[in-house]
Structure 1
Amino acid sequence: MPGARLTHEDRGRIAAWLADGLGYAEIGRRLGRPTSTISREVARNGAPVAYLADDAQQAAGHRARRRKPRPSATTSDGQPTEVVRGFVDEFATLLAATGLPRMTARVFVCLLTADAAGLTAAELVRRLQVSPASVSKSIGYLEAMALAVRQPAPGGRRERYRIDDDVWLRAWQADTGAHREIAVAAQRGIKIFGAGTTAGTRLGRMGQFFARLSEQMGGSTLAEPVGYDALTVLAALVHAGRPLTLDTLATALDWPRDRLTAALDAIQLHPAIADPLVLRTTEPETYTITTRPDRLGPAQRQALEDPGHVR
């Protein structure tokens, strides 16, 4: 695992990649290790052309047996350092599988498991046993994704890095915005290539997918009271089965106009609330409910509207 000693599997990969002509820096990147770790490993166990994984593993075993046992270190909360590092590496591997760079994932998990004060760059370097440059690059990546924040350390020039309590909400909102931008960009592409072209069709499907994703993610952050009111309005319109004016809805629900207006605004701002339905304005201050046009294809609509097609 990165940060711990090289395993037999790591050494096998090093040998294979050396045979493929990869450099130390690229091998280190693939293993999530500093370049110096790879260069020392190869220098200690033969030149690149003579490096053998089995021999290197055996030599490492001899060196380990010669070492004197040292007392196990502990973290500030009393947990054994090796246990914590093992958890960090295991959790980071899972996060890396979602697309997060491996080193960045390790830094994130370290911050995630730190106390409220967070960690300095030097503390991250010591915990992960990596270079300061690796930590700095990972911190920059996490800040860009709104997953970490920095603040001045009390009584010193150093900065501390930590995970905010609302990190998941901020990350969710950042993703929602990115999905919305992709949907808008796809629509621009359709205008450039044409809706009837292969590119335009693909961009259309892509734009619909990310628009729905953005709507659904954005709708999930709606405040509960307004969200419940929005669902009640939808239920009222479905039950009525006809367009209703604002005054009629307010009277039927026994709500003040401002409460009803807030619920209607919420549905229009967060269309995912009504999915697979959509709120329509037929006349000024008159509303009804219909199905979303993208939920049913033209052939499906025709089959449902023409009784002769349905058996």
Structure 2
Amino acid sequence: MPGGRLTQQERQRIAAGLADGLSYAEIARRLERPTSTISREVSRNGGPDGYRPQQAHQATVERARRGTPVRPHADRPSRGTAEDEIIELAVRSGMPRTMARVHVDLLLSEDGRRTAAELVRRLEVSPASVSVAVNSLVRHGYVRRERDPHRRRDIYVVDDEAWYHSIAISARQTLESAQAAMATAESLGPDSPVGQRLLRAGTFLERVVEDMKDSADRWRTLLT
């Protein structure tokens, strides 16, 4: 496996991989580099949407010349491969990358709690990006919001019950889709080809959701 600093050719391949929509893990595999090397390289040099290989290489050369390499924030340890893999799995499942990074940072925090300012500092993203990410996480039940009465700020919390609530929210949304499909089937005529297709789909989703809700209720005690 190659070691040392990334070469200019490797940076060009990273840019090509990002343009093709490849995950950090896949780019790392093709370059025979650790996933954490790729994620740090991209995050230091504009992020996945702003990465420019020539500029990234020149910045590295300049840092080496000055003897001032980029260091992670004091309270932000370098992400390891396992954490990167969790983020990549979330991204591949459809979660936006910043949302995935916020969620994983909360999951791996000691007490499962962060303020918006802490997330901004640790992840080196804008306050607006954190706001969008945590609002989505709250809406999907992955995170809950608490108010700090002393400092008038929000605290974002992920705890064991969050897994139950996220499943419950997902089940409710799927059930609404099932009911809408069956209602449309009824209005179009359940004997028509489209009506039959929608009725089958709605019935299937309804039964699956019922099983999922029953299972979540049955095993909820494992979280307490």
Change (3 A) 1:158 1:166: same
Give per-residue Cα distances to partners, 1:111-149, cap 9 Å, x unaligned.
111122611111101111111110000011011101111
CA distance in 1, matches of 2:139, 2:88: 21
Distance 1:7 1:193, change over 3 A: farther
The TM-score, its normalising length taken from structure 2, stands at 0.70
**Structure 1 position 168, deviation (Å):** 0.8
What is the aligned partner in structure 2 of residue 112 from structure 1?
Answer: 107
In the alignment, which residue of structure 2 is the partner of 1:307? none
Confirm whether residue 220 of structure 1 aligns to residue 215 of structure 2.
yes
Q: Would the alpha carbon gap of residues 92 and 7 (structure 1) be closer, same or farther in structure 2, given more than 3 Å must change?
A: farther
**1:163 equivalent in alignment to 2:158:** yes
Task: Rate the CA distance shift 1:143–1:119 in 2: closer, same or farther, 3 A.
Answer: same
Paired residue type of 2:187: I
The answer to whether the 8 Å contact 2:181/2:201 transfers is: yes
CA deviation profile, 1:152-174 (whole Å, cap 9, x unmatched): 23631222111022011111111
Q: Determine whether 1:196 maps to 2:195.
A: no
Does the 8 Å CA contact 2:184/2:195 hold for their aligned counterparts? yes
Over the residues paired in the alignment, what is the CA RMSD in angstroms? 3.5
Residue 57 of structure 1 deviates from its aligned partner by 5.1
Whole-Å separation in 2 of the counterparts to 1:200 and 1:189: 7
Structure-2 separation of matches of 1:196 and 1:33: 55
- Which has more helix, going by share of residues? 2
Quote the Cα distance in structure 2 between the aligned partners of 1:70 and 1:82: 12
What corresponds to 2:68 in structure 1?
68
Q: TM-score, normalised by structure 1?
A: 0.52
> Aligned residue for 1:99?
94
1:93 deviation in Å? 1.1
* Matching residue of 2:132: 137
Gaps of 5+ in 2: 1-5, 22-41, 220-224
Paired position in structure 2 for 1:126: 121
Give the Å deviation of 1:101: 1.5
1:179 is the counterpart of 2:174? yes
Question: Separation in 1 of the partners of 2:218 and 2:57?
Answer: 61
2:26 counterpart residue number: none
Report how far residue 183 of structure 1 moved: 1.7
User: Could you say which structure has the larger radius of gyration?
Assistant: 1
Greater relative contact order (CA < 8 Å, ≥ 6 in sequence): 2
In the alignment, is the contact (CA less than 8 A) between 1:117 and 1:160 conserved in 2? no
1:8–1:57 contact (8 Å) kept in structure 2: no
Residue identity opposite 2:68 in structure 1: K
Q: Name the counterpart of 2:79.
A: 83
- How many pairs align? 190
Secondary structure in 2 matching 1:115 = coil
**What is the SS of the residue equivalent to 2:125?**
coil
Q: Deviations over 1:49-99 (max 9, x none)?
A: xxxx4x445424412422325776553xxxx71135x55433111111112
How far apart in 1 are the matches of 2:57 and 2:43? 21
- d(CA) in 2 for partners of 1:156 and 1:128? 22
2:57, 2:74 → 1: CA distance?
A: 29
Q: How many angstroms does 1:8 deviate by?
A: 3.9
1:208 matches 2:203: yes
The answer to whether the 8 Å contact 1:176/1:217 transfers is yes
The 1:58/1:212 distance shift into structure 2, 3 A limit, reads same
1:285-304 counterparts in 2 under 5 A? none
Which is worse superposed, 134-143 or 90-99? 90-99
| % same residue | 30
